[in-house]
């Protein structure tokens, strides 16, 4: 048997460019054809049923069970016509993956034969046997039931002849076992708090939507190489592998021409995405070789999250057709950039106003500043929780790497807004106590806003090193990992903002009761919020060592490791925020904390096992084979030149020793990692166990890699068993 790398190289070399079916219709003709959207509902539902869905979406009203039957029937007619044979409640358990259990539409007829059946009760609720989803103790074994319930806010869609119905997933007790439930609750919390403020400006505002645009980075590798790397296959990242001589240092990949094979793949998945009603807008090469990005046009957060997860599913499926593999892991390759999922976030009213877009008039600017200040204040208050929301084993390999956002939160707002913020802080700080004084009145806040009738923050004024950046009309949270379900970060962001919006309104009301005009009261609180959160604002280079030191001085708590970060979920401040905003109960927060720790342990355990296998069964034998060749060579030379051999074989002898050193080191490290696991596995408490894994198992993962990569540099290329970085990262 030749080694698996060689077989993969042969397979790769024999890969012939294929012609794929391309959709010839213009996109506008097939856009959304696989989605049961409002337009289709109009055609398939009675007026009454259609109205019920619209009211559910827009007003959050419950759908009557009778109407649900009508809706289900219409949905089924459409789906069956589209060729669907099955349906599934599609939900987002606490694993970052999506879950689906398919049921056929068919039911038997009494006298033989079948008919397609889909009842309202089935549409609305299911009870999947889902006792093996992570639940953090929320489902005792004696009451392990969980329910999925239809989310009418996100349209049903068809993938692989299966009608997928987006649902929430909750325990028997109503506690959430998924990512969608808290996200929906957080969207409601923001809506309620934001509307209350908006109505102080415009009584027509009845709803504020959380908007989200997700930029998704990902890697692509050839499937043959992927299959030849157990680490990629099982852990989605390379646990070992020396960097290639050339990777991203010439910066020739970013925005470069997209390789043909990748282009064919992109066109293919874009077509499917369009059919699913996903507004894909941009595609390009990312910084690292083999790395790419797509971004759809932003939309309502709930739908954006669902669509992002749908994209991840279809990309994996389509890649297979092209003999490619998509890697969503945050750091599949050491030494080159990792992947994130930038979350572009804003708030938009039902009247069409983006609350984070600086306005043209003083009054709209006052509204903008209210929201702008509340976001900054909220992010400051819970900076550590927000950072923790992105913590995972995989994302920790990426964060703070001098290419990805640092592991500490900071907000970049750009030069224009910095000047504005500074002037707000200055103008009122001295005179705050006597804000109603005549003299101060002249220089009061409205006046400040008057001076700046139109704020035009420069859109190109970008700071890529910032964790959380204001980019003209939205905030962009860049630390979120590429493999995760962003809902877990978004419900926290929504929660912390909602909390401050509520506080903002309370404080403004109090000032008004004390005699200040509405505008002045608002300006006073805006100023207060900005002053309070001054420490979170940072315009410099987030990658620099100086910033790390400075952040610490400012008391900004970065995340040092994932298990430590998870604790933020159950901190008093977090639980207070979750509960007051109706997003999670203390028990639900605790459950998530447990699940996060559990997943961390399991993933690290898997990495350790794979690494043990790679080292013991691939690397050490390869090292010994090569070493044997060297020994033979030395013996041969010794026979030929008995007197001179030690001079002639100096290099070989050094290598032989070096390899022995590496082999011993690897062997010991593998032994130690097994021991460390054994000890850690005995720990009952899952948080303690995660901590132990981090402290005792994790260091070996790194040290094995260091030695394995050195070994790769000395062993005969012919013998090396795993596809190398240059093979994985560069393909045409
Ligand atoms: P860049 O890489 O420069 O940040 P992209 O065009 O790749 O920009 O992605 C920007 C994302 O932000 C897109 O998904 C876009 O639709 C989204 N976006 C633009 N404006 C808003 C907004 N007001 N609110 C939320 N998302 C927005
Ligand atoms: Mg961006």
> Residue holding tokens 């590798």?
221
Mean pLDDT of 280-298: 90
Tell me, yes or no, whether 676 lies in a domain.
Answer: yes
pLDDT at 567 over 70: yes
Give the sign of the dihedral formed by CA 679, CA 685, CA 686, CA 688: negative
Answer yes or no: are the C-beta atoms of 670 and 615 closer than 8 Å.
yes
Mean pLDDT of 653-662: 98
Containing structural domain, residue 203 = 187-584
Atom of ligand 1 nearest to the CA of 462: 3
Answer with the one of 178, 207, 238 that is the final residue of a domain.
178
Same domain, 267 and 359: yes
- Stronger pLDDT, 330 or 253, i.e. the higher one: 330
Cα(459) to ligand 2 centroid in Å equals 11
Tell me, yes or no, whether 24 lies in a domain.
Answer: no
Could you write out the DSSP letters of every residue in 267-324? HHHHHHHHHTT--EEEEEE-SSTTEEEEEEPPEEHHHHHHHHHHHHHHHHHHHHHTTE
Cα(346) to ligand 1 centroid in Å equals 10
pLDDT at 559 over 80: yes
Quick one: pLDDT at residue 496? 98
Same domain, 436 and 516: yes
Of the bound ligands, which one is closest to the alpha carbon of residue 286?
A: 1
Same domain, 265 and 292: yes
Q: Measured between alpha carbons, how far is 584 from 593 in angstroms, rounded to an integer?
A: 12
Answer with the one of 124, 150, 178 that is the final residue of a domain.
178
Closest CA to 463 of 394, 532, 417: 417
Q: Measured between alpha carbons, how far is 721 from 576 in angstroms, rounded to an integer?
A: 53
Of the bound ligands, which one is closest to the alpha carbon of residue 466?
A: 2
Condensed to tens digits (0 to 9), the pLDDT of residues 49-69 reads: 999 999 998 888 888 888 999
> Residue holding tokens 């083999």?
290
Same domain, 576 and 618: no
Same domain, 162 and 274: no
Query: Is residue 389 within 6 Å of ligand 1 at its C-beta?
Result: no
Tell me, yes or no, whether 3 lies in a domain.
Answer: no
Ligand 1, atom 2, residue with closest C-alpha: 215
Same domain, 642 and 578: no
Same domain, 614 and 483: no
Query: Is residue 294 within 6 Å of ligand 1 at its C-beta?
Result: no
Q: Measured between alpha carbons, how far is 335 from 401 in angstroms, rounded to an integer?
A: 9
Query: Is residue 346 within 6 Å of ligand 1 at its C-beta?
Result: yes
To test the pocket of ligand 1, the residue of 213, 346, 493 to mutate (highest count of ligand atoms within 8 Å of its CB) is 213
Quick one: pLDDT at residue 188? 96
**CATH of residue 106:** 3.10.20.70
Answer yes or no: are the C-beta atoms of 528 and 500 closer than 8 Å.
no
Of the bound ligands, which one is closest to the alpha carbon of residue 284?
A: 1
Same domain, 620 and 678: yes
Cα(497) to ligand 1 centroid in Å equals 20
Same domain, 283 and 154: no
Tell me, yes or no, whether 121 lies in a domain.
Answer: yes
pLDDT at 620 over 90: yes
Cα(360) to ligand 2 centroid in Å equals 25
Residues in the chain: 732
Same domain, 509 and 466: yes
pLDDT at 300 over 90: yes
What is the distance of C-alpha 559 from the center of its chain? 17
Quick one: pLDDT at residue 365? 86
Q: Residue 99 pairs with which residues in a beta bridge? A: 91
Cα(343) to ligand 1 centroid in Å equals 8
Query: Is residue 211 within 6 Å of ligand 1 at its C-beta?
Result: yes
pLDDT at 436 over 50: no
Q: pTM of the full predicted structure?
A: 0.94
The pocket of ion ligand 2, defined by CB under 5 A, consists of 342
Q: What interhelical angle do 518-532 and 362-381 show, nearest 10? A: 30
Closest CA to 168 of 144, 188, 152, 190: 152
- Stronger pLDDT, 451 or 299, i.e. the higher one: 299
Q: Residue 87 pairs with which residues in a beta bridge? A: 103, 163
pLDDT at 448 over 60: no
Q: Measured between alpha carbons, how far is 569 from 562 in angstroms, rounded to an integer?
A: 12
Dihedral in degrees, nearest 10, Cα atoms 48, 50, 55, 57: 160
**CATH of residue 490:** 3.30.590.10
Q: Measured between alpha carbons, how far is 303 from 273 in angstroms, rounded to an integer?
A: 14
pLDDT at 153 over 80: yes
Q: Measured between alpha carbons, how far is 652 from 648 in angstroms, rounded to an integer?
A: 9
Query: Is residue 354 within 6 Å of ligand 1 at its C-beta?
Result: yes
Quick one: pLDDT at residue 458? 55
Mean pLDDT of 554-577: 95
Which two three-digit tokens encode residue 188? 């409601």
Domain count, the chain: 3
Q: Measured between alpha carbons, how far is 271 from 275 in angstroms, rounded to an integer?
A: 6
Tell me, yes or no, whether 400 lies in a domain.
Answer: yes
- Half-sphere exposure of 435 toward its Cβ, with a 13 Å CA cutoff? 24
Quick one: pLDDT at residue 565? 96
Q: Residue 326 pairs with which residues in a beta bridge? A: 220
How does the average pLDDT of the chain come out, rounded? 90
- 3-state SS assignment for residue 108: strand
Same domain, 156 and 264: no
Same domain, 573 and 608: no
- 88-97, 244-253, 336-345, 545-554: lowest mean pLDDT where? 244-253
């Amino acid at each position: 048997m030749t080694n698996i790398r060689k077989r993969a190289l042969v397979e790769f070399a024999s890969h012939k460019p294929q012609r794929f079916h391309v959709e010839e219709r213009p996109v506008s003709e097939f856009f959304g054809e696989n989605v049961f959207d409002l337009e289709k509902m109009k055609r398939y539902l009675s007026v009454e049923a259609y109205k019920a869905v619209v009211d559910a979406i827009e007003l959050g009203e419950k759908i009557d069970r009778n109407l649900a039957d009508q809706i289900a029937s219409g949905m089924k007619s459409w789906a069956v016509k589209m060729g669907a044979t099955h349906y599934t409640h599609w939900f987002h358990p606490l694993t970052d993956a999506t879950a689906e259990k398919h049921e056929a539409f068919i039911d038997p007829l009494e006298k033989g034969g079948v008919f397609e059946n889909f009842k309202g009760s089935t549409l609305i609720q299911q009870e999947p046997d889902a006792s093996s989803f992570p639940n953090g103790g929320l489902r005792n074994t004696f009451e392990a039931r969980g329910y999925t319930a239809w989310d009418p806010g996100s349209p049903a869609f068809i993938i692989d002849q299966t009608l997928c119905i987006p649902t929430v997933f909750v325990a028997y007790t109503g506690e959430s076992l998924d990512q969608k439930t808290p996200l929906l609750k957080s969207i409601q919390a923001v809506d309620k708090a934001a509307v209350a403020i908006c109505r102080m400006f415009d009584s027509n505002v009845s709803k504020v939507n959380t908007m989200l645009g997700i930029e998704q980075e990902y890697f692509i590798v050839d499937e043959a190489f992927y299959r030849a790397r157990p680490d990629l296959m099982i852990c989605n990242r390379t646990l070992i592998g020396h960097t290639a001589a050339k990777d991203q240092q010439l910066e020739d990949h970013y925005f470069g021409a997209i390789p043909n094979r990748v282009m064919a793949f992109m066109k293919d998945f874009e077509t499917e995405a369009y059919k699913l009603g996903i507004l894909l807008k941009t595609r390009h090469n990312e910084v690292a070789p083999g790395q790419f990005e797509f971004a759809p046009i932003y939309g309502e957060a709930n739908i954006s999250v669902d669509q992002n997860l749908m994209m991840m599913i279809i990309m994996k499926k389509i890649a297979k057709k092209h003999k490619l593999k998509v890697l969503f892991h945050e750091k599949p390759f050491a030494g080159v950039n990792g992947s994130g999922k930038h979350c572009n976030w804003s708030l938009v009213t039902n009247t069409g106003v983006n609350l984070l877009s600086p306005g043209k008039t003083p009054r709209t600017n006052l509204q903008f500043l209210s929201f702008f200040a509340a976001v900054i204040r909220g992010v400051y208050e819970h900076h550590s929780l927000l950072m923790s929301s992105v913590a995972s084993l995989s994302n920790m390999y990426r964060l703070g790497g001098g290419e990805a956002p640092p592991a500490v939160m900071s907000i970049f707002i750009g030069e224009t807004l910095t000047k504005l913020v500074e002037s707000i802080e200055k103008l009122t700080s001295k005179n705050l106590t006597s804000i109603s004084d005549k003299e101060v009145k002249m220089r009061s806040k409205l006046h400040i806003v008057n001076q700046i009738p139109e704020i035009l923050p420069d859109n190109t004024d970008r700071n890529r090193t910032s964790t959380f950046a204001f980019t003209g009309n939205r905030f962009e949270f860049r630390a979120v990992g590429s493999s995760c379900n962003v809902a877990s970060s978004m419900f926290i962001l929504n929660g912390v903002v909602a909390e401050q919006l509520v506080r903002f309104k309370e404080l403004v009301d109090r000032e008004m009761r004390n005699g200040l005009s509405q505008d002045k009261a608002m300006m006073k609180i805006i100023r207060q919020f900005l002053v309070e959160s001054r420490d979170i604002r940072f315009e410099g280079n987030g990658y620099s060592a100086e910033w790390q030191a400075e952040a610490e001085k400012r008391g900004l708590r970065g995340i040092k490791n994932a298990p430590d970060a998870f604790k933020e979920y159950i901190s008093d401040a977090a639980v207070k925020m979750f509960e007051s905003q109706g997003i999670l109960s203390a028990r639900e927060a605790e459950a998530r904390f447990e699940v996060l720790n559990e997943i961390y342990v399991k993933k690290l355990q898997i990495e350790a096992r794979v690494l043990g296998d790679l080292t013991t069964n691939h690397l050490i034998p390869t090292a010994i084979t090569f070493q044997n060749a060297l020994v033979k060579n030395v013996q041969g030379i010794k026979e030929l030149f008995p007197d001179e051999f030690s001079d002639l074989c100096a290099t070989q002898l050094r290598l032989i020793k070096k390899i022995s050193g590496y082999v011993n080191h690897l062997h010991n490290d593998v032994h130690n990692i097994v021991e460390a696991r054994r000890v850690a596995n005995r720990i009952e408490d899952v948080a303690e166990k995660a901590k132990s894994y981090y402290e005792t198992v994790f260091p070996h993962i790194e040290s094995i890699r260091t030695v394995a990569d050195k070994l790769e540099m000395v062993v005969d290329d012919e013998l090396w068993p795993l596809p190398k970085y240059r093979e994985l990262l560069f393909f045409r």
